[in-house]
Amino acid sequence: MPKKPSVPDELAHLVEFVGSPVRPEDVQAYGEYREILDRSRKSQAVIDAWERQAHEERALRRAYATWLMWAVTVQVLVANVIFFLIGFEVLSVAEWVASVFFAAVFAEVSGLAWLVVRYLFPSSETSKDTSILNQL
């Protein structure tokens, strides 16, 4: 029967029990366990940062999209008011000026819509994000 290790009296209240001796395999298993936990913490930190960044990007995109939609709405309303003012002959402009104005308004509204779709909601971003996860 192995001899039970003694614990100093001042530390006895801190020790619940003394188990079997630690073997080299136990140390190796514990090291592997700690390595797995460390990798898990790194992965979780990256995922948390990624989640915060995605949330902030969505909020920024939402703000830009809202601002652009209001700008487009105001611009279309102004163009409609000008159109009716020209139609009721309250505002008198040359025909080519009105044509150029409405073509410019249409081009600007179309350009802003393209900008929103192209840059605020990109489709290739997911492949970059998944490559980060594959490296972990």
- State pLDDT tens for residues 11-41: 778 877 777 777 888 888 888 998 988 888 9
d(CA 21, CA 81): 89
Q: Is residue 82 part of a domain?
A: yes
d(CA 54, CA 116): 17
Q: Is residue 17 part of a domain?
A: no
Structural domain span for residue 129: 23-135
Q: Is residue 15 part of a domain?
A: no
- Quote the longest CA-to-CA distance of the chain: 112
Q: Is residue 1 part of a domain?
A: no
Q: Is residue 3 part of a domain?
A: no
Q: Is residue 126 part of a domain?
A: yes
pLDDT, tens only, 86-124: 999 999 999 999 999 999 999 998 988 888 778 777 776
Residue 92 gets the label, from left (phi > 0), alpha (psi -120 to 50) or beta, of: beta
Q: Is residue 95 part of a domain?
A: yes
Q: Is residue 10 part of a domain?
A: no
Closest CA to 76 of 53, 108, 42: 108
Angle at 8 between CA 17 and CA 18, to 5 degrees: 15
Give pLDDT, residue 136: 58
- What's the gap between Cα 59 and its chain centre? 9
Measured from the Cβ of residue 65, the count of other Cβ atoms closer than 10 Å reads 13
pLDDT, tens only, 62-74: 898 888 889 889 9
Split into its structural domains, the chain has a count of: 1
Instruction: Go through 38-56 and write b for each residue having 16 or more CB atoms within 10 A of its CB, e for each that does not.
Output: eeeeeeeeeeeeeeeeeee
